[in-house]
Amino acid sequence: MSAFRTLDQVEVAGRRVLVRLDLNVPMKDGRVTDATRIERAAPTVKELADKGAKVVVVSHYGRPKGKPDPTMSLKPLVDPLSAAVGRPVAFAEDCIGPAAAGAVGGLADGGVALLENLRFHAGEESNDPGFAAALAELCDLYVSDAFSAAHRAHASIDGVARLRPAYAGRLMQTELDALGRALESPTRPVAAVVGGAKVSTKLDLLGNLVERVDVLAIGGGMANTFLFAQGVEIGASLAERDLADTARAILQKAEAKGCDVLLAIDAVIADKLAPGVATTVVGVDAVPSGAMILDVGPATVAAMSERLATCRTLVWNGPLGAFETAPFDAGTNAVAKAAAELTDQGRLLTVAGGGDTVAALAHAGVLERFSYVSTAGGAFLEWLEGKDLPGVAVLKL
């Protein structure tokens, strides 16, 4: 990852610091039901406050379509944020204008204020220069700790960062460091595990990875498209048969770049996707016409696990089978545990994220054992696709 500005390069005491977080947390009946994102962002807020900054926290929540919506107010986050940072948090009923200015003006050094939902203004998502300028009026410095929103060129991500000195918060710094070690400057050999239902949603990702990694293991429904493209009879399995030419082109590109693509050599099949359904393990060349491939088989698990043991870096995105429905979680669980074992032994750097990945790794019981797991969905995927993220570009030296 290119060099970027961090909090180690700036004095914040007595200065107003606008901190962009992603506090889009689950809520029910006006109460936060999962404070993980708040807790992960708290160290940056606490560090700035401890150093004497006047900390102004901003975030989006939901999709209020550019106008106030009481059901999407950030006010219920005041108490959880206060608990996470260990100090009182003031609240402003707006994120710009007199209400915001009053809340910021009332902060003492070390004080923290949370401003109302950025998306209550249409100028946020349109990256309106006037809205960005109004946010900039509230601060002397800008800190981004919202990698999960870094793929959006919104006013609080891009616009205000061009009007004030901009720095990465600690969570953003950790994320960028992990991503840099995974693909920008990795220890080789590098492997990628990519799964999911459809090839069509990951064309850019696959096209980028075959140029960057040494081994690409493909699973999930998308792998069926590749098998079909190679002339394998896949029965009634989910596949995008109209993308066979595209799949073959990706395989040809991989071969030209020296990337070894791993597909299933055996599969767990059933007549339907349902809990407790009768299953059979067959070679991928022996799938009956009415059967569905729903997970990789034990021989595939062994082959993928053995190959990972020869690698030093792993990027993981997506499950290898229909993991939400037992017993079709077995393949994902087993390969994930093999990767976790290698990580525990210090033999493999494991970076994962995007889509169902967090849920799949949590289900496998290895979430805490991977080197780094990103909770960012779209931003992580766009990074895997090789795209320049607006929220990261503005932080580069």
> What is the tens place of the pLDDT at every residue in 178-201?
999 998 889 999 999 999 888 898
User: From the candidates 5, 355, 369, 391, which is the catalytic residue?
Assistant: 355
Helix, strand, coil content of the chain in percent (nearest 5): 45, 20, 40
Tell me, yes or no, if 386 is annotated catalytic. no
Tell me the per-residue pLDDT of 190-245, one tens digit each, with 9 for 90 and over: 999 999 888 898 989 999 999 999 999 999 999 999 999 999 999 999 999 999 99
Say yes or no to pLDDT of 377 above 90: no
Tell me, yes or no, if 67 is annotated catalytic. no
Tell me the per-residue pLDDT of 117-144, one tens digit each, with 9 for 90 and over: 999 999 999 999 999 999 999 999 999 9
Q: Residue 49 has which token pair? A: 């406050």
Say yes or no to pLDDT of 1 above 70: no
User: From the candidates 40, 46, 181, 198, which is the catalytic residue?
Assistant: 198
CA distances from 89 to 47, 99, 106 (A): 15, 15, 12
User: From the candidates 102, 378, 387, 396, which is the catalytic residue?
Assistant: 378
Tell me the per-residue pLDDT of 311-363, one tens digit each, with 9 for 90 and over: 999 999 999 999 999 999 999 999 999 999 999 999 999 999 987 899 999 99
Tell me the per-residue pLDDT of 75-113, one tens digit each, with 9 for 90 and over: 999 999 999 999 999 999 999 999 999 999 999 999 999
pLDDT-derived band at 2 (thresholds 50, 70, 90) equals low
User: From the candidates 37, 51, 202, 369, which is the catalytic residue?
Assistant: 37
* DSSP designation for 191: E
Tell me, yes or no, if 110 is annotated catalytic. no
d(CA 13, CA 124): 28
Rounded mean pLDDT of the chain? 95
Entry pTM: 0.89
Nearest to 135 by CA among 14, 18, 7, 12: 18
Say yes or no to pLDDT of 301 above 60: yes
CA distances from 76 to 80, 274, 362 (A): 8, 39, 27
**How many residues in the chain?**
397
Tell me, yes or no, if 387 is annotated catalytic. no
The more confidently predicted of residues 301 and 196 is 301
